[in-house]
Amino acid sequence: MPRTHHQGRCSALVCAALVVCLVAGPARALPVKYARGAAATDSGLGFDYVHLVQEWPGSFCDTKKGCLWPKDEPTTGFLLHGLWPEFFNGSWPEYCDDKAPFNMTALADLVDDLHMYWPSLVSPDQSAFWAHEWTRHGTCMEGYFATSPAPEHDYFALVLKLREEFDAFEMLKSAGIGVGSTTSWEKVKMALDGGFGNKVEVGCNFDKSGKRQLLEVRTCYQAKAAAIQAIDCPNEGSATQCGSPMAPIVIPAFHPSVRRSP
C-alpha cells in the first residue's frame, strides 16, 4: 500500500451539498508540493486518483502507542482517516495551497457527521485534526472543486458521501466476518471487492502482543466525466502488510481495552 500516516453515513444535507462540486467537475490544475520528489500527471487536476482510507479503531488503539478516544462517541464501524490525492507513480501531492486556511465555520452543517465518522484518535482537538486533513490533502483537490464557492466544505462533504457508499463494516458482517473473527486478507478482499464492485486495498498491523490484525481498508477513485468514479486500487493485489493472502488476521473489539487519557 502506498503510505500510512496516522491520526459514515452522511446525512441528506451532506449529500445535497455535493451537487455543486459534482456538476462542476474538473477545471484547472494547481501548483503542487510533492512528498516524494517530482511527479507528472496528465489529469489536469494535480493528482491522478484519490484514496479513501478507513481504519478499524480497535486495531489502531491496541498497539503500544495506544490512542486517545474521542469525547463524542463515534459510530461503531470503520472510522475515516482521510481522502488523499495520489499519483500512479507512487508519489503524492500535499500542502498545495497555503492561501487556503482551514475555516471551521464553513463546516457547521457537517460537524455532527464529522464527529460520528471522522474523529481523531490521537488528538483531543478534533478541529485541529480536520484542519490537518484539509491543509495537507484537501487543498490538493482544489482543482476538482475549482468552480465551487466552498471547496473546503465540498471536500469534507465528498469524503462523508464516499464513506456512506462504502460501509466496510456492514459488508464484512454480511460475509460472516465480524468483531472477534479470525480471517485472512484473501477473505476480507473477497468480501469487500464483491460488495464495493471495485478492487480495494487491505492493510494490517500488529497489536501489543505481536498478533496481526486488520487495520484499514482503502477504496480508490478518479475524477471522470465531471464526477468522482470508483476504480480498482493500484496496489489492491498486495497482501504484504497482512503477511500473505491466507495468513490469519484478527478483528479486535471496536473499543480499545486501554486508552490514553487527555
Catalytic residues: 81, 133, 137
Decide: 253 and 58 in contact? Cβ < 8 Å. yes
Q: Write b or e for each residue in 140-151: b if 16 or more Cβ atoms lie within 10 A of its Cβ, otherwise e.
A: bbbbbbbebebb
Give the closest residue to 7 by CA, choosing from 92, 68, 52. Answer: 68
Q: Rounded to the nearest 5°, which phi and psi values hold at 175?
A: -95, 10
| 21: nearest Cα among 131, 151, 208 | 151
**124, burial (CB in 10 Å: exposed 0-12, middle 13-18, buried 19+):** middle
Length reported for the chain: 262
Q: d(Cα 231, Cα 135) in Å, to the nearest integer? A: 25
Other Cβ atoms closer than 10 A to 63: 16
Q: What are the two backbone dihedrals, phi and then psi, of residue 184, each rounded to the nearest 5 degrees?
A: -150, 160
Nearest-angstrom CA–CA distance, 224 and 50? 12
Cβ atoms of 113 and 160 within 8 Å: the answer is yes
Measured distance CA(30)–CA(36) in Å, rounded: 17
